[in-house]
Structure 1
Amino acid sequence: MNPADPDTEKGQPGIARAALFGLCPRCGAKTLFAGTVRFADRCRVCALDFTRFDVGDGPAAFLILIIGGLVATLAIGLQLAADPPYWLQALVWVPVTTLLVLGGLRLAKAGLLASEFRNRAGEGRLGK
C-alpha cells in the first residue's frame, strides 16, 4: 500500500495494477473482463456497474497507430537486415501484431476505466 495514494488504503487498486490484472477499480476483485477485451456488465463481488463507464474507441485508435508504426518499422528492419521471404514475414508479423493489439487494448481499456472511476468522470448532465 502506498501512503501517498489514499485510495489504495481503502482496498482499491491503483490504476496501473487494475489495468495489468483486470481488477475492479472499487474492490480489487479480478472481475473487470468477461472476455479477452470485453468488459463484464458489473463486478460479481461489489456490483459496480461497468456499463456506466464509456471508454469509447480512443484506446483502439491510439493502439492502431502506435502498434502499426512499431510493427512496420520492425518488419522493414528485418527485411533490410535478413531479407527473409515474404511468407515468413507474414508468418511472423500477423500473430505478433494480433497479440500486441489484444494485449494493448486490454491494458488501455482497463486503465481508462479505472482512471474514470478514480476521477469520478461521467457524462455531462443537463438540468441536474
Structure 2
Amino acid sequence: MSKPQNLRYPPLPPAQTGLRGRCPRCGQGKLFDGFLTTAKSCERCGLDFEFIDSGDGPAVFIILFVGFLVAAGVFAVEMTFMPPIWVHLILWGPLTLGLSLGFLRPLKGLMIAQQYCRSAGEGRLGE
C-alpha cells in the first residue's frame, strides 16, 4: 500500500488533523460519519479511507490512561475521606464512562492520521 502522492496537499501534523476528526490529507473533510464510524472517503479531497484500520489501539490507550486516573482518584478519596461505597459508585462510574467516551473519538482520529502519515499497512513478509 502506498500513500497517494499529490503535490496539492502539503503534509499536515497528525495531531492537528486526527484529534479534530478531519481528513489526514487535506485537513478539511470529516473523518467520521457517526461517533466512531469512519466515512467512506473525504468529501473535500476525495481520499479513500479504505486504508483505515485503527483496531483496538485507541481503546487500549484509554484503558491504561483512564484506569490510572480513576484508580489514583479512588485511592486518594478513600484514604482522605473514607466515604461509603455508594459515594465511590456515584463518583467514579460516570467519570470513568465520560472520560472513556470523551477520549475515544479523538484518539481513534489520531491513530488514523498517524497511520496515513506513516503509510502504515499490513505486515508483509518476503516482498
TM-score range, shorter chain: 0.7 to 0.9
Distance 2:52 2:35 in 1: 18
CA–CA distance in 1 between the matches of 2:37 and 2:78? 35
Structure 2 CA distance for aligned equivalents of residues 127 and 20 of structure 1 = 35
TM-score w.r.t. the length of structure 1 is: 0.78
User: What is the TM-score normalised by the length of structure 2?
Assistant: 0.78
Q: CA RMSD in A?
A: 2.4
Structure 2 unpaired stretches of 5+ = 1-7
Structure 1: which 4+ aligned runs deviate by more than 6 Å?
Answer: none
User: Which string of whole-angstrom CA distances, capped at 9 and with x for unpartnered residues, describes residues 64-106 of structure 1?
Assistant: 1221122111112112112223222212211211121122222
Aligned to 2:62: 63
Gaps of 5+ in 1: 1-8
Q: Do residues 80 (structure 1) and 79 (structure 2) align? A: yes
**Aligned residue for 1:48?**
47
Q: Is the 8 A contact 2:19 2:107 kept in 1?
A: no
The equivalent residue for 1:15 is 14
CA distance in 1 between partners of 2:10 and 2:93 (Å): 40
* Number of aligned positions between the proteins: 120
Residues 26, 45 of structure 2: 8 Å contact kept: yes
1:105 aligns with 2:88: no
Q: Which residue of 2 aligns with 1:36?
A: 35
Tell me how far apart the structure 1 counterparts of residues 39 and 89 of structure 2 sit (CA, whole Å): 34
User: Residues 52-71 of structure 1, C-alpha deviation per residue, up to 9 Å, x if partnerless?
Assistant: 22111122123212211221
Q: Which whole-Å CA distance do the structure 1 matches of 2:32 and 2:102 have between them?
A: 13
Q: Per chain length, whose mean CA-contact separation is higher, i.e. which structure has more relative contact order (CA < 8 Å, sep 6+)?
A: 2
Query: 1 or 2, which has the higher helix percentage?
Result: 1
